[in-house]
A and B are shown apart, each in its own frame.
Chain A
Amino acid sequence: MSRSAYNPANRLRRYVQTLPAVLVIALLMGLPMVMMGFVSIVERAPDGGVHWGEFTLRAYSNFLFEESLMGGVELNTDYVTIYIRSFVLSGLTVVGTLLIAFPAALFIALQPQERRNFYIFLISIPFWVNLLVRNYAWILLLRTNGLIDQALIGSGIISEPLDLLYTDIAVAIGLIYSFLPLMVMPLYAALEKFDFSLVEAAFDLGANRIKTLFYVIIPGVRPGIVAGSILVFIPGLGAYVTPALLGGSKSMMIGNLIENQFGAARDWPFGAALSFVLLIVVALAASARILFGGKEKHL
């Protein structure tokens, strides 16, 4: 290996090996993003489709402004509201998954090696279950007179159905379920490397459990927390199937809004612009990892 590494022919061979994958992604992922940006600045055709070559920033100004009834221009908060809702929902999902995943990841990291691998395998399984199957299973459980209602009424705990489906609780249950493995994995990876003699030391020095958690464990695994949060937050922003199936579709998510532009609204440039804004937000979120998660090296 080392002997041939200096060989220019070998370098060429290595480039030839790596480039196809890179080019496929550049061609079928990068270029589409560029095209999407382009479509977001051309004129819409009234029945869907676009007029190539007629440039306008209408889609972006529509995002923030609208014509008022009097013909003037006023601030339109509708779309921003929908974006904020998706952000809040995604943020709450991060908090929810973190609260549920942290104790479990800690427990698993403290188990003997063989058992740890098995636990982690078990946690990763639901991640591979199809999105629709997951949500459908929750519909079976949560619907009025569904399985949770039946179980609770049967055991005499409640007398009336809970009506859980089509509520915010149902959406939270579904989203947290979908993204839990994405939070557990990085947390576990960080906790596994964590030196638990520090915890023993803290206890020996008289720190209580809360203090140990906040002053010893959490600072020590911060990169894992940041990584998990971003892994959950980004797909959470685009989530709309779960809110639609479990939430009763009363409020739009970014995903519904974008899809609607290719459906009833027939406004493709606006759909492209909305996607482009989301893309930029995601890029910012990803760079947040570099800002807040960069301490890994000191551990």
Chain B
Amino acid sequence: MNDQTKPALARPVLEIQDLKVRFRLEKNWFDRFIAGSNARFVHAVDGVDLRVRRGEVVGLVGESGSGKSTLGMAIIALVEILQGKILFRNQDITNLLRKDRRQVLRHIQMIFQNPYSSLNPAMRVRSIIGRQFKISESDYRDDTASEKINSILRDVGLRAEDGEKYPHEFSGGQKQRISLARALATNPEFIIADEITSALDVSIQSQILSLLLQIKEKTDLSMIYITHDLRVARLITDSVAVMYLGRIVEYGRTSAIFENPLHPYTLALLSAIPGNRIKNPVSLTGNIPSAVLLPPGCRLYGRCPHRMDVCKLKYPAPRKVEGRTVACHLYPAESTDDIEAGEPIGSTRSAGLSAGRVER
């Protein structure tokens, strides 16, 4: 992966602004009535800004419960958005009407984690992929579509004859290839891949990953790649957004983040990768807290080894450090909007954390 930004990468394809998604805890009408104004919510995504440029693969990483999947689903309107904006090619797609949504969403495709449940077992592979053409093309014709389906099947490493089979006749890895073929069928500009290799064995995962690397090389497809496996993120992505409890805590170039993690949470995640030698690893105590009652300060406060008093009171506004965005009080803030409660800690602390760079 090259570090230099290609000139063509400059224009953002997708822009997410201050996105918030929450879910009600009271699921049925009776509980809602009882709860009244005391209704409780899970704040799954709680103010996320993200830009994905053309041809860029952005990784969303974090533990389970960090909101990375919800963010992916919010983009293609699978969950209700509470607040914020999603711009796709400068067009606001946040609250599209149903009829317009289909026109836009053919350019954005999602691939899901479980290949066993995301393919219709009653349809032949050929129809699963062909349906995409039927939906997205006004001049759809069976004979031309058939040729296209064959070529897409070959692109993902399957044979044309495989189109006549049903999903259950394939192994997990092959099913994930079919999901990929279905996503690529509409010739999308943007793909959201949600943990697409985590249900697979390592050897099969390696095949899907090298297929993705090929696709990435050949096309200028933009992608959001959601994963909890940092090794996979390192291989596939150009930049990485580390999420914790609904917010992005660190965002920057993949190589920079892996070589020199700035946020304590990022460092802890990297320390936890088996086989990764880090000079001064950090391990977090405790568990990811509930996203129902969020603390006013930094969400990592209870688990962070570098916690200070200011962390408890004020959520650190994202700040630019070494070309990255980091939400942590350890680094000096650009604006004064979050430092009323205490002095920001200067670069001496930042040097301390940087010592955790990856040793090879």
The answer to whether A binds B is: no
